[in-house]
Amino acid sequence: MRLDKFLCEVNTGTRSQVKEFLKKGQVTVNSAVVKNADFKVNENTDEIYFQGKRLCYQHFVYYMLNKPGGVVSATRDNTSGTVVELLREEDRRKDIFPVGRLDKDTEGFLLLTNDGELTHRLLTPKKHVDKTYLVTLEREATDEELLRLEQGVDIGEEKPTLPGKAERAGDRKILLTIHEGKFHQVKRMFQAVGNRVIALKRVSFGGLELDDSLNPGEYRELTEDEVRILHDA
């Protein structure tokens, strides 16, 4: 790839800043100063230094975010803050996006990545990737409600929801595992059985649990093992 593209991708600066850095001789490739922006580099094997620091090209990035309430699952929004804006500047590559959506008021595990192929596989309805939500209800659920949720309910789509798993996790709390990701699905499922969701947090996705050391708004990179688990999900 072109050297200037590489430097932008690894977040050394904007295209025009990168041009300046190159002009000033602040970039070396395999120990030689390179001032030419369209110089071709091999991002995997060349040793590229900027201001004396080695730059590493990582093609794909994967972040586990504990989404706080009040931000939207988008890259840009005119009125609200977005999940991508929660990333520190040095991590905020232009190509990062959230994998699917959580409602603005929903908290919990949201994956952010620039890996389009994995995203597609995780979101395709055929895959039925598991998602578990901690649901806080307006009133305690009855056994019958839980049974209906587990068997699948009519939420006004062509077909009822797929069978899921509903476990009690407190007086008015349920852990609900579902395998689809229809718009407002969890809220609509509880509405369909006559109850109401007052708070929602996703605690696992694609076989990975939300890291409970992450406070709302915090994130961390996935480990290689975790990325593998997602690929196998």
Which residues are identified as catalytic? 103
Q: Which of 126, 62, 133, 128 is nearest to 93 (CA)?
A: 62
Residue 148 or 187: the one with the smaller Cβ distance to ligand URA is 187
User: For residues 62 and 98, is the Cβ–Cβ distance under 8 A?
Assistant: no
Residue 12 or 185: the one with the smaller Cβ distance to ligand URA is 185
Q: How far is the CB of 181 from ligand URA (least distance, A)?
A: 7
Number of Cβ within 10 Å of residue 71's Cβ equals 23
SS3 of 145-176: the string is HHHHHHHCCCCCCCCCCCCCEEEEEECCEEEE
Q: At what angle do helices 185-192 and 143-151 cross, to 10 degrees?
A: 130
User: For residues 143 and 133, is the Cβ–Cβ distance under 8 A?
Assistant: no
Question: What residues line the site for ligand URA (CB under 6 A)?
Answer: 102-103, 106, 184-187, 200
